[in-house]
Chain A
Amino acid sequence: MSAFAAHSLEADLALKAQARRRKMIAGFGFFVLVVTSTIAVVYPFYWMVMASFTPEGYSLTNAPLLLPDRFSVEAYQSVFAERPLMTWLGNTIAVTLGGTAIVLPAALLASYGLNRFRFRGRMVFIFLVLLCQLLPASALIVPIFLIFRDYKLIDTTLGVTIAFTTFMLPMAIWVLWGYIQTIPHEFEEAAMVDGCNGLQAFIRVTLPLAMPGIAATALFIFLEGWNHYLLAFVLTSDTQQWVISLGLYSFIGQYVIEIEQMMATSVIAAFPALVVFAIMQRYLRGGLSLGGLKG
């Protein structure tokens, strides 16, 4: 009995050590994987950041791999001094948040309706959502300009915000619909058995469960809006109304491109978007567990 126990303990220890070793190797392998893939993805952006810290005209002939041998912050100084960068950022934030605020509730209602009800015209609606996104943008430039001009929406924040909903809404419905579909009906039904009505069940049960999907969708349309260029270009001719993606073009002159300044501006422009993502990403944590259904 005792021999058996000792043997078992020894074997157990050996087994544990082996498992630990395997786990360590696996952990190290995973670490290498994470680091290399992150480097591969981030490198082009890193290069841009690096270029933004070099003296004017430097990065075009000396494309250093890792570090430049000359360093300068003049690009950052001059973009703040020479361009209404803060106005552009403010406009970008206004139209992107505005668009997200209009689109998200509408998309949430629509995708809930599409998922929880079977009704005539349902597939037609889904199909139309897809249709909305299919026409190449260059064909929409002239119609959108003429229509928005008729409604005096050129050079207004409202105009650009409305225009942004045109690409945000179909995307948001499409993504959210797919997500809510994966949440089992049973949760809501259980809540309804407990005395909730349909809407209450939706708000109390499905919404929290759908949080990762809603957060992802919000981030999704926010990032798409943040860098959207074409509609903003069509609808604004006043520099003061530009969004940042339009402002970037102002560094392209007839004979020169102020590439360092352009890189500096896009570093500045990417920053708020990334901060929003860094904060929002914790909502991507899953709230769903089978225990929830039982309890």
Chain B
Amino acid sequence: MKRRIFVVVALLSLIAAFSVSAQESPMTLRLASWQWEDPAYLPFWEGTTNAFMEANPNVTIERFAFPIDQLWNQINLQVAAGTPPELLEVTGFNVFEYMNLGVLAPLNDCFAGTDIVEKVDGEDSYAVDADGNIYALNLSARTLALWVNKPMFDAAGVEVPTNFEEFKAAAIALTNPAKEEFGLVLTNTAHSRFYESVLDMVVGYGGHWTKDGKPAFTEPEVIQGVQFFKDLFDAGVMPIGVDGAPSQYAFFNSGKVAMTIDGPWYWAVVSEQNPELAANIEIHRMPTDSGLPTGGPNNLIGIAAGLDDATFAVACEYIKSIATTEWGQVWTNSSGTINPIEGAVSEDYLIENPWFAFYAEDLANYVPVAAPGLEIYHGSLQTMINNKLVEVMYDDKPVEQAMAELQEEVEEFIADQM
């Protein structure tokens, strides 16, 4: 009898010890992000991870930090070695490739029984595959808009353009080579922003690189869009050789350029570098015929596939802990980009930053940046498209010919993937 009790007690204490140790056993998760050094996002990442570690003393969240260009190569190496960082921040561009190649784990089980799906605005706010599985939570959505240097417009007596015709006329009217003034600045060398700038024009004519999921470079809307950009380029209204965001910013910040197209994050840059100009900036709808902006989910977070259940469960808890209005506001307030969770854009923030209202409203209208149907090839497509566009701009290759070549190249590329 005594002996039996002893066995039971021993068993019970063993179980208790085991369950305690299971709960308390230290666990380390790595969170891969390119924003660990960025003051605009640090309040969110530091805040959420510290809060989570405080609530779960046995868990440590380590930074897996690299600048954005190198982060992917580092993550890919870790994936190839079978030891991916447990938590992955990804972009709206490579999320599709990661989803498609099984790098990310489905989050449906993780989100089951929560109201996260209802609270996050719109179904585009997750990376969802054809079967309706969710692979990542969207942290920030973005669109582009027209930024106007109002004093330059006023001095020249030009109205803010609302369609292609007015856009071109305004750009030409505001260009003054003698004073080194330009009507417009856009990236126009092989760079992701070049792809986007030209796509903005294509979308302005109501087209995209693909139609029904297939390459459609020879469609009239695409040709018109590329041709429009080429006409602007040839008209000398924009500085040439602009090789990415920094030089694009630098030109507009200098106060000698009347228009640029950019996202809400640019606000922080311009107000720091030229506060005087920032006070006189206006933000408007895209000056194209359709007026639609390009955009979409920008930063997302997911969990690496292939983790053991316990690790997955903790990673899931972390993601659930950041999908709240409170953290959404932290994100929006510190970064100036829209966290799609309900209430993330607070009244107070809008009162303090009236310029932001346009972005918050325009978000619903966006056309995705990655070619619909070919999202998983976004990186490769972007390189091919950019290289062809450089030929159009700088070698004067006729647009129709260039687009026909591109169509062939992309079709060949896709066939090669099958």
Which chain A residues have a beta carbon within 8 Å of chain B's beta carbons? 56-58, 60-62, 141-142, 145-146, 149, 233-234, 237, 239, 249-257, 259
Report whether B67 and A252 are in contact in the complex, using a CB–CB cutoff of 8 Å.
Answer: yes
Complex formed: what's the CA distance from A66 to B70 in Å? 34
Report whether B77 and A141 are in contact in the complex, using a CB–CB cutoff of 8 Å.
Answer: yes
Report whether A255 and B269 are in contact in the complex, using a CB–CB cutoff of 8 Å.
Answer: yes
Which residue in B69, B74, B269 is a CB contact (below 8 Å) of A256?
B269
Complex formed: what's the CA distance from A239 to B71 in Å? 12
Which chain B residues have a beta carbon within 8 Å of chain A's beta carbons? 34-35, 37-38, 64-70, 73-74, 77, 80-81, 244-247, 249-251, 253-254, 265-266, 269, 273
- Distance in Å from the Cβ of A174 to the closest Cβ of chain B? 30
Nearest residue (CB) in A for B37 is A250
Nearest residue (CB) in B for A146 is B81
Q: Which 10 A-B pairs have the closest CB atoms?
A: A60-B250, A257-B246, A61-B250, A249-B67, A60-B247, A61-B254, A145-B77, A254-B68, A57-B273, A252-B67
- Distance in Å from the Cβ of A232 to the closest Cβ of chain B? 11
| 10 A–B pairs (Cβ distance < 8 Å), ordered by A | A57-B273, A60-B247, A61-B253, A61-B254, A141-B77, A145-B81, A249-B69, A250-B67, A253-B68, A255-B269
CB-CB < 8 A to A57: which residues of B?
246, 249-250, 253, 273
- Distance in Å from the Cβ of B266 to the closest Cβ of chain A? 7
Complex formed: what's the CA distance from A60 to B269 in Å? 14
- Distance in Å from the Cβ of B331 to the closest Cβ of chain A? 15
CB-CB < 8 A to A250: which residues of B?
37, 67
CB-CB < 8 A to B65: which residues of A?
239
Q: How many A-B residue pairs have CB under 8 A?
A: 67
CB-CB < 8 A to A149: which residues of B?
81
Nearest residue (CB) in A for B91 is A254
Report whether B245 and A256 are in contact in the complex, using a CB–CB cutoff of 8 Å.
Answer: yes
- Distance in Å from the Cβ of A181 to the closest Cβ of chain B? 41
Complex formed: what's the CA distance from A239 to B66 in Å? 8
Report whether A142 and B70 are in contact in the complex, using a CB–CB cutoff of 8 Å.
Answer: no
Given A56-B273, A60-B251; 10 other pairs, CB 8 A cutoff: A57-B273, A58-B250, A62-B254, A146-B80, A237-B66, A237-B74, A252-B67, A253-B38, A254-B68, A255-B265
Report whether B253 and A142 are in contact in the complex, using a CB–CB cutoff of 8 Å.
Answer: no
Report whether B266 and A237 are in contact in the complex, using a CB–CB cutoff of 8 Å.
Answer: no
Complex formed: what's the CA distance from A122 to B250 in Å? 58
Report whether B247 and A234 are in contact in the complex, using a CB–CB cutoff of 8 Å.
Answer: no
Report whether A259 and B81 are in contact in the complex, using a CB–CB cutoff of 8 Å.
Answer: no
Complex formed: what's the CA distance from A252 to B38 in Å? 11
Complex formed: what's the CA distance from A60 to B69 in Å? 21
CB-CB < 8 A to B251: which residues of A?
60-61
- Distance in Å from the Cβ of A86 to the closest Cβ of chain B? 17
Report whether A233 and B273 are in contact in the complex, using a CB–CB cutoff of 8 Å.
Answer: no
Complex formed: what's the CA distance from A149 to B83 in Å? 11
- Distance in Å from the Cβ of B383 to the closest Cβ of chain A? 15
Nearest residue (CB) in B for A242 is B66
Which residue in B35, B66, B73, B244 is a CB contact (below 8 Å) of A257?
B244
CB-CB < 8 A to B35: which residues of A?
254
Report whether B250 and A252 are in contact in the complex, using a CB–CB cutoff of 8 Å.
Answer: no
CB-CB < 8 A to A255: which residues of B?
245, 265-266, 269
Report whether B80 and A252 are in contact in the complex, using a CB–CB cutoff of 8 Å.
Answer: no
Complex formed: what's the CA distance from A60 to B68 in Å? 21
CB-CB < 8 A to B74: which residues of A?
233, 237
Contacts A56-B273, A60-B247, A61-B250: A253 and B81 contacting too (C-beta < 8 A)?
Answer: no
- Distance in Å from the Cβ of A81 to the closest Cβ of chain B? 13
Complex formed: what's the CA distance from A254 to B65 in Å? 13
CB-CB < 8 A to B269: which residues of A?
255-256
- Among the interface residues B77, B245, B247, B249, which one has the most CB atoms of the partner chain A within 10 A? B77
CB-CB < 8 A to A249: which residues of B?
66-67, 69-70
- Distance in Å from the Cβ of B270 to the closest Cβ of chain A? 10
Nearest residue (CB) in A for B38 is A253
Complex formed: what's the CA distance from A138 to B249 in Å? 33
Report whether A237 and B80 are in contact in the complex, using a CB–CB cutoff of 8 Å.
Answer: no
CB-CB < 8 A to A142: which residues of B?
77, 80
Complex formed: what's the CA distance from A234 to B74 in Å? 7
